[in-house]
Structure 1
Amino acid sequence: MAKKTAATASQLVHIQAPGMVGSSLSKAQKEFNRLTKRIQKLEQDVADFRAAADRLRQRVQTEYRPLQTQHNDQRAALVRHLDRAHDTYKLTKTERAKIVDLIVQGCHDLPDRGYTDLQPILDKYAPPLSEEAGAEADLQISEMMKQLYTQQFGIEFDPAVDVSTKEKFGVYVEQKLAEQEAEYVRQEEEQAARRAQRKKSPKQQAAEAKKQAEEKNITKSVRTLYMDLVKALHPDREPDEAEKARKTVLLQKVTAAYEANELLTLLRLQLELQHIDQSHLENLAEDQLSYYNKLLREQARELDQAMYEEQLNVSDFSGQPYYMLSTAAALDYDYQRQKLLLEAKIRQLAANVLAFEHDPAALKAFLKAYRIPKAGPGALFRPL
């Protein structure tokens, strides 16, 4: 479905209950009202979420990225001071081990972030792996990835195939996934051919004919609305230039709604132009309402899908699960929370660096409270 920006105060298309005593809305009328109300809410939710996502991306670039740079500056300053302290301060063996852990495990990413002067310090405490050790590490990672892809995608790895490097592994996986996709398409085509060859029962034929008739009537219903609006809005028939420009914009909206099968948008425009009124909606035949409700259900499903795709886009950008940031309010709240946490980290690091430079006792107190994480499953990356 094409992206659309919902009007913030779009007219609610609603069938009012009859005024006569003892009368009420039919089941189809109630469904129509429920769907139009739900679609209006979904349109607003999608529009609000997109606006919040745009704000998030802008604030990350203008506010958060500079804070990340400040954070990394403080981390780099800490590494330099810890290195000097390791060589010059009177420290115990345990304290020196903690300094090594803080440098190697907590700040190993800094050279890749532009702090290349720290690489000799990191190499000093964690010398580069030998060729044999590096090959062994690559092999272990390869085995782990093989298990993961076998479980997730059902890929069976040929023992004779060399997937010991990231590049070789990627080529092999892409080949296997392509083979799986080709096999899936082949099976689907075979099943479709078998279904086409089967003789349909009278009941199946009647159901198919009914479905085709309904789809035809639905298409006809939408086209009737569309043509009515096109006739009313055709700008070539308007002598006034200002009104002609207004009708041109409205006609573009009508055409976009028609091409997207957005029945509710067409109905709103009809109400706005006073081409239908409430009595028209209240007197719609049940079969006509049935066609309308099917279109409205499809429009609601498309809006649900649009929201899900927006959430996935933000998830890709933020690195957080999409269900953690499912609303505009959640986006704004989470950004503010992350920003406050990062600012607190910067202040704490700056205070530590200043204290450690002027008071070895402050460093010793910090190292006494610090605990080296135990080996085993856990965070692969734990920056300070």
Structure 2
Amino acid sequence: MHIKSPGVGTDSLSKAQKEFNRLTKRIARLEKEVIDFREAATAMRQRVQNEYRPLQARHNDARAALVRQLDQAFETYKLTKGEKNKITDLIGQCIDLLERGHENLQPIIDKHAPPLSEEEEAEADKATSEMMKQLFTIQYGIEFDPDVDVSTQAKFMAYVDEKMAEREAEYEQQEAQAAERRTRRKKSPKQQAAEEQKQAEEKNITKAVRTLYMDLVKHLHPDLEPDEAEKLRKTELLKQVTTAYQANELLTLLRLQLELQRIDQSHLENLAESQLKYYNKLLKEQTRELDEALLAEQQDWSAFTGKPYYFTPTPVAMELDYQHQKSGLDYKIKQLEAEVLAFGHDPAALKAFLKTHKIPKAGTGPLIFGR
């Protein structure tokens, strides 16, 4: 869809015609980007399932083998107290394996992570509760009553739900009051004129799209077609026309008109400026909707990968990130398998490995041992 200039360059085109060309070009590009990204994400999800998930399972198997080897070395090798402490720390960092198909590691995990005393458990629960309070205060603005009992997760969430419900009710009440004030407020003549103009423009836009729609419906009506094959073709086209009309997709209706020879290039070039104005408003809205659709696809992929949506904004970036993740995981697996083999036969290799490990200081948070 393009309005051609009758002269050289684009100087002979009006401002509205140039805007029409710019918008139709952008819509065509966005439509392709949305389809390409959606198809690439669908294919990539399948590849992750078929290729990457098995690698993750192999990686966890290798980590589990290393845990067993470290535990065996702890019991059989002549190690210093510091080296044993490092092994205990490394094994503790693999606690996530219990939820990844390696429940049989529980005795080893328990042996190297003895249960906390009642006092330590109470202190840990208190610290967790305080941290959660701060988090919800910062993120949601919830103020916690100093006397409220949030000692368990159920009590904590019940209190949060109560506060959120109170805030929601307060917000709805404020909105209702604001709406009532707006209703009572008398519009100025200028505001009234602007509102009437907006309503008139919306009516004209709707009329412009409906005119295109009715022309195509009359041309494609299957009941008037005696040939069965042509009747099926027209029925399918009519579905496309109806879908485009319901979605206010002006460009799709114009394309169909061109394809069905209901209009020609000269028709586009001779569109009245007032009609182009309404067309351009619709095209801008379609552009906005396509921008939102592309962002939604990118955010869906972001939710799948756990990375910001702008990290993989295109199928090419998606592919590069996947290859990087896959090759990195493959390298880790080979490294772990080599270490398990070496540590099982050579205490010196284990000691050299432990020498490079630093036990995190208290307060730095848990680390996942994903070597």
User: Where on the TM-score scale, by shorter chain, does this alignment land: which range?
Assistant: over 0.9
Secondary structure, in 3 states, of the residue corresponding to 1:18? coil
* TM-score of the pair, normalised by structure 1: 0.92
Structure 1 regions of 5+ residues with no counterpart? 1-12
**Once structures 1 and 2 are overlaid, which stretch shifts more, 159-168 or 340-349?**
159-168
Aligned equivalent of 1:74: 62
The answer to whether the aligner puts 1:217 opposite 2:204 as a matched pair is yes
The one-letter code of the counterpart of 1:159 is P
Task: State the distance in 2 between where 1:379 and 1:264 align.
Answer: 54
Write the mapping of 1:254-333 to structure 2, written as runs, cut at 5 A: 254-333=241-320
* TM-aligned CA deviation for residue 166 of structure 1: 2.2
Task: State the distance in 2 between where 1:53 and 1:158 align.
Answer: 46
The answer to whether the aligner puts 1:147 opposite 2:134 as a matched pair is yes
* TM-aligned CA deviation for residue 344 of structure 1: 0.7
Secondary structure, in 3 states, of the residue corresponding to 1:128? coil
Task: State the distance in 1 between where 2:63 and 2:315 align.
Answer: 33
Secondary structure, in 3 states, of the residue corresponding to 1:17? coil
* TM-aligned CA deviation for residue 163 of structure 1: 1.8
**Once structures 1 and 2 are overlaid, which stretch shifts more, 307-316 or 207-216?**
307-316
Secondary structure, in 3 states, of the residue corresponding to 2:358? coil
The one-letter code of the counterpart of 2:108 is I
**Once structures 1 and 2 are overlaid, which stretch shifts more, 75-84 or 229-238?**
229-238
Distance 1:15 1:22, change over 3 A: closer
Aligned equivalent of 2:86: 98
Aligned equivalent of 1:8: none
Secondary structure, in 3 states, of the residue corresponding to 1:109? helix
Q: Residue 6 of structure 2 contacts residue 12 of structure 2 at CA under 8 Å; is this kept in 1?
A: yes
Aligned equivalent of 1:41: 29
Number of equivalenced pairs: 371
Task: State the distance in 1 between where 2:273 and 2:71 align.
Answer: 80
The answer to whether the aligner puts 1:370 opposite 2:346 as a matched pair is no
- Residues 57-97 of structure 1 show CA distances to partners (whole Å, capped at 9, x for unaligned) of 11121111111111111111100110010111112222222
* TM-aligned CA deviation for residue 148 of structure 1: 1.6
The one-letter code of the counterpart of 2:336 is L
* TM-aligned CA deviation for residue 20 of structure 1: 7.3
**Once structures 1 and 2 are overlaid, which stretch shifts more, 153-162 or 228-237?**
153-162
Aligned equivalent of 1:234: 221
> Which of 3, 12, 34 is matched with 1:24 structurally?
12
The answer to whether the aligner puts 1:160 opposite 2:147 as a matched pair is yes
Task: State the distance in 2 between where 1:341 and 1:75 align.
Answer: 15
* TM-aligned CA deviation for residue 249 of structure 1: 1.1
Task: State the distance in 1 between where 2:276 and 2:228 align.
Answer: 38
Task: State the distance in 1 between where 2:269 and 2:159 align.
Answer: 62
The one-letter code of the counterpart of 2:273 is E
Task: State the distance in 2 between where 1:228 and 1:354 align.
Answer: 76
Distance 1:291 1:323, change over 3 A: same
Q: Residue 220 of structure 2 contacts residue 237 of structure 2 at CA under 8 Å; is this kept in 1?
A: yes
* TM-aligned CA deviation for residue 378 of structure 1: 5.7
- Residues 85-139 of structure 1 show CA distances to partners (whole Å, capped at 9, x for unaligned) of 011111222222221111112x111112221221111111111223332232222
- Residues 172-203 of structure 1 show CA distances to partners (whole Å, capped at 9, x for unaligned) of 22222222222222211211111111111111
- Residues 312-355 of structure 1 show CA distances to partners (whole Å, capped at 9, x for unaligned) of 21122111122212222222221111111111111110111111
The answer to whether the aligner puts 1:338 opposite 2:325 as a matched pair is yes
User: Identity, % of aligned pairs?
Assistant: 69
Secondary structure, in 3 states, of the residue corresponding to 2:95? coil
Distance 1:120 1:60, change over 3 A: same
Distance 1:42 1:379, change over 3 A: farther
- Residues 15-47 of structure 1 show CA distances to partners (whole Å, capped at 9, x for unaligned) of 111237995111111111111111111111111
* TM-aligned CA deviation for residue 275 of structure 1: 0.8
* TM-aligned CA deviation for residue 255 of structure 1: 0.6
Aligned equivalent of 1:84: 72
* TM-aligned CA deviation for residue 382 of structure 1: 4.1
Task: State the distance in 2 between where 1:226 and 1:217 align.
Answer: 14
* TM-score of the pair, normalised by structure 2: 0.95
- Residues 193-235 of structure 1 show CA distances to partners (whole Å, capped at 9, x for unaligned) of 1111111111111000000000000000111111111111111
* TM-aligned CA deviation for residue 365 of structure 1: 1.9
> Which of 243, 248, 254 is matched with 2:235 structurally?
248
